[in-house]
Amino acid sequence: MEMDKRLQLINISKTFPGGVQANKDVSLDVKRGEIHCLLGENGAGKSTLMSILYGEYHPDSGEIWLNGEKISIPTPKIAIEHGVGMVHQHFMLVPTLSVAENIIMGMKPLASFLWDMKEIEKDIARFAVERGMKINPSALISSLSVGEQQRVEIIKALYRGVDLLILDEPTAVLTPQETHDLFETLHKLAEQDFSIILITHKMNEVMEVADRVSVLRDGRVIGTLPIANVTPAILARMMVGRDVSFNLEKSERAYGEPVLRVQALNLIGDKNRQILKDIALEVCSGEIVGIAGVDGNGQNQLALCITGLMKPTSGHILFDRKEMAGKSPLEFLKTGVGHIPEDRHAMGLVMEDSVADNFMLQRYNDKFFKKLGFLNMTAIMEYAKKLVKFFDVRTNSVKTAAGNLSGGNQQKIIVGREIDRNPKLLVAVQPTRGLDIGATEYIHKQLLQQREKGAALLLISTELEEILALSDRILVMFGGRIVGETSAGRANVDKIGLLMAGMQAEKE
Amino acid sequence: MPAKKRNSSFFTFINLFPQILQQTLILPALALVLALLISAVLLMITGYDPLTSYSSMWEGVFGSVRVFTEVLLKSTPLILVGTGIAVAFRCGVWNIGGEGQFYAGAVLATWVGVHLSGLPPVLTIAAVFAAGVLGGGFWAVIPGWLKVKLKVNEVVSTIMLNYIMIGLTSFLVTGPMQEAKKLFPQTDEIVQAARLPNILPPTRLNIGFLVAVVTAIIIAIILFRTPLGYAIRTVGQNPETARYAGMKVNQSIIIAMLLSGGAAGLAGAIEVSGLTWRMFATISPGYGFDGIAVALLASNNPLGTILSGFLFGALRASSELMQMNAKIPSVLFKVIQGLTIAFVIAFSLLSRKTADEREAEKSEALTASEI
């Protein structure tokens, strides 16, 4: 029985500095010759768990058993020595070198100091064919398609003697045909007794390729089931959860006039990929419209378009009936658009700058902060002190660099700053990502208060519970489209979950 | 939770001082002392007496009024170029083109200085300075524009533009701008009214040094006390956030380059109008490149460049004397210069890290205490 299991993870826990608990008592086993899917939303802890297994992170507690032996994996090098290999979402290949050179990179020469490239290429070609893959070892990486590059990554891992292969969101970058080829390859490898762990958030892939599936949510394993025992509906429920834990006081309120009106919005990205397709939506004053959806289905780009940071390819963005499409971010700011951006590190804060500087970020040119054309440092400090107090930002002083605060307090700076600008429309993207309960609750209250004051709010979140708790109306996005709409009162979690996963709702 | 490793209390002590003092004075001074100590070992190994060497170096800086004014003259272009480079670096633009911008400013200033006659000295000098700023600024805006419009890497383009400008200068002083006598590869002398007034005869010290110091102060004020400077710094630290804040990222980059090149060009103008009175092909012994070191040593703080510019000016001037008197190769100053920069960078990182840890701890404690 035990020999049947190649890998066993027992009670793995991992907390990051800053308090985010990515894995909580995760136990998991993977059999020989099994394709095991890890399914979960972004931030559910799948990647962290696999990075622990691959030696990139170290668990705070828990055990890793491989082939019946308890081991510790301090580095990826040790992981490979134990036969654990990983193919990352972003390939680790040198584009200017050949396939063979990339595969042997970092390995010791077999017999002599000099490589016999011809011999190695022959060996690699034979090795690949034996495992059901075709590759030209002398081709340059830069000349290969994305799917072929991924194959090189897989061969690279196997060539190092790996028998447990982790693939992190392998289909995110692939075309449907390439995905099909990949799955075929994985099946062949499984037949040859290799074990495969596949990280994904796409349910249809799980149904197509997995032998067993483990669903992760909030860092915990919700359940591990053989594929024969599950349906997409079961998986959806496990993924998004049912229990609405937020209990917020929300008044009944009649909406006012529409503040934002988006019509026929299209965005075409690199390589002609349609990122947004025919988006139409309306947000009224005093209303919170929630956009639910799995990460990467165009919600973030939609937010960037509505705040002027990205120019849509076609369509209308009407703000108080004024056409805004194609205008600069500054003009959006001036018309009263507030924006809580998705990633406070990449956008929204200057981490090296002081709390005070971050509070006046968009208003650095305001009369209020200027005296004779120079920055009025006294006014800036006073303003920051007022906001720190009002929005309960826990900081040593307003001169402290924003990067030294905890995530929750950083987010409070952004939320406070945006709210204090009295926006007519507030676009909040993942406003509570990575925050603890206290900070989350605080920010939710602030958002509801804006609604009371008559602001229009567009809330974009991958956390369904958050959407359900705050929104008056819910839109679901998948593949760049709005695929469903429901009022908050009649929201059906199962149905929304299915829509989020790309399963079309039955026509009503 | 594992206990956090504490940084040495030394940097905790350093952090008691305001950041501006740390950046402009304390850390560079510490770095210099360490660099001098290590260089002393080098000197001993190679058979020189460090004490004699350093005392002759000291003599070369503070030995007499004359040598001290020579040091100030050497510092002038370094302060200006360093200030300019600091602005570009603060904006996240790696301007390595100080040398070319210095030459561009010098050439245009010389042309104006030679041909402008009949104006009172104040206006003539103002015109010469303006020409220097314009020349250097223009030469810096080119790579700025290329970066903004075509995403050309500014490190490559500024270095290339250095060679182009230096080559162009050689051509000009042997061709179109060569002196009337056509004897040497140099221009005619600039008119009397364009020459900077001397402030301490019989030394060569002129108002150029004061102009450099004032310029550094003005640019520091622009950078740290105006909305424009705030935008420039924000663009340098996080361009995405700058865009989000409605700042015009491209415009900020162009303006930063204009200021950066303008300062280097002004240095060229002062070198011509204050010292050489004419242009020749080798007018800069590498001020444009040393300016990068000056900016780095000052943590890209224009106020700090006044001191670091003086320091490198002193090293340069005194090492020449040292070579004459103590027969120590003058390249030693390059060793000291390099070591100082390496140390100052290491120190700033450590002191920043210590400061950050303390702040984070304090803020964390605040968060914890009220839950």
ipTM for the complex? 0.84
Domain spans in chain A, listed from the N-terminal domain onward: 2-240, 256-336+424-436+445-501, 345-421
Structural contact between residues B295 and B54, judged by C-beta atoms closer than 8 angstroms? no
Inter-chain residue contact A364 with B230, CB threshold 8 Å:
yes
Query: How many distinct structural domains can be found in chain B?
Result: 1
Q: How many CB pairs under 8 A join A and B?
A: 94
Structural contact between residues A260 and A283, judged by C-beta atoms closer than 8 angstroms? yes
Rounded distance, CA B57 to CA B29, Å? Answer: 17
Structural contact between residues B139 and B101, judged by C-beta atoms closer than 8 angstroms? yes
CATH of the domain at B203: 1.10.3470
Indicate left, alpha or beta for B138 from its phi (over 0: left) and psi (-120 to 50: alpha): alpha
Residues A340-353 pLDDT 10s = 998 888 899 999 89
pTM for the whole thing?
0.78
Residues A350-398 pLDDT 10s = 998 999 999 999 999 888 899 888 999 999 999 999 999 999 888 888 9
Residues A143-202 pLDDT 10s = 888 888 999 999 999 999 999 999 998 887 777 778 888 999 999 999 999 999 999 877
The mean pLDDT value for A484-503 works out to: 80
The mean pLDDT value for A485-497 works out to: 80
pLDDT score, position A19: 61
Residue B356 lies in a domain: no
Answer whether residue A117 shows pLDDT above 90. Answer: no
Q: How many CA atoms lie within 13 A of A334 on its CB side?
A: 11
Answer whether residue A508 shows pLDDT above 50. Answer: no
Which range marks the domain in which residue B282 is found?
Answer: 67-343
Higher pLDDT: A203 or B105? It is B105
What the block records as the tokens of A177 is 């045909």
The mean pLDDT value for A316-320 works out to: 94
Q: Check the CA dihedral A456-A462-A466-A472 and report its sign.
A: positive
Q: Check the CA dihedral A347-A353-A354-A357 and report its sign.
A: negative
pLDDT score, position B284: 93
Give me the residues of chain B with pLDDT under 50, please: 1-7, 369-371
Which of A28-37, A132-141, A304-313 is the least confident region? A132-141
DSSP H helices, chain B, are: 9-14, 19-21, 27-45, 50-62, 65-90, 98-115, 121-150, 154-174, 208-225, 227-237, 239-244, 249-271, 287-297, 302-326, 332-369
Q: What band does A462 get if pLDDT is binned at 50, 70 and 90?
A: confident
pLDDT score, position A143: 87
Answer whether residue A232 shows pLDDT above 90. Answer: no
pLDDT score, position B130: 98
**Interface list for chain A against chain B, based on CB atoms closer than 8 Å:** 307, 309, 328-330, 332-334, 339, 341, 346-353, 357, 361-362, 364-365, 369-370, 373-375, 377, 394-396, 400-401, 403-406, 408-409, 438
Which residues in B lie closer than 8 A to residue A369 (C-beta atoms)?
227
Q: For the packed helices B332-369 and A407-420, what is the interaxial angle rounded to 10 degrees? A: 80
Residues B308-347 pLDDT 10s = 999 999 988 888 777 877 788 878 878 888 888 888 888 8
Answer whether residue A228 shows pLDDT above 50. Answer: yes
What the block records as the tokens of A428 is 């909040």
Rounded distance, CA B338 to CA B316, Å? Answer: 13
Fold of A256-336+424-436+445-501: Rossmann fold (3.40.50)
Residue B61 lies in a domain: no
Q: What band does A282 get if pLDDT is binned at 50, 70 and 90?
A: very high
pLDDT score, position B370: 43
pLDDT score, position A273: 82
3-class SS at B202?
A: coil
pLDDT score, position A110: 59
> Which among B225, B246, B366 has the least Cβ separation from residue A396?
B366
pLDDT score, position B26: 83
Q: Name the pairing type of β-strands A274-284 and A288-292.
A: unpaired
Answer whether residue A506 shows pLDDT above 70. Answer: no
The mean pLDDT value for A293-308 works out to: 90
What the block records as the tokens of A452 is 């009371």
Q: Tell me, what DSSP letter sits at residue A372?
A: T
3-class SS at B151?
A: coil
Answer whether residue A503 shows pLDDT above 80. Answer: no
Residues A246-259 pLDDT 10s = 556 677 766 788 99
Q: For A2-240, which CATH class?
A: alpha beta
pLDDT score, position B366: 67
pLDDT score, position B3: 39
In this complex, is the C-beta atom of B234 within 8 Å of any C-beta atom belonging to chain A? yes
Residue B355 lies in a domain: no
Inter-chain residue contact A333 with B246, CB threshold 8 Å:
yes
Inter-chain residue contact B225 with A375, CB threshold 8 Å:
yes
Higher pLDDT: A17 or A420? It is A420
In this complex, is the C-beta atom of B362 within 8 Å of any C-beta atom belonging to chain A? yes
pLDDT score, position B1: 36
Residue B19 lies in a domain: no
Residues A400-419 pLDDT 10s = 889 888 778 899 999 999 99
Rg (CA), chain A: 25
Backbone phi, psi, residue A226, to 5°: -65, 150
Q: Which residues contact B8 (CB under 8 A, 6 or more apart)?
A: B354
pLDDT score, position B46: 86
Residue B16 lies in a domain: no
pLDDT score, position A18: 56
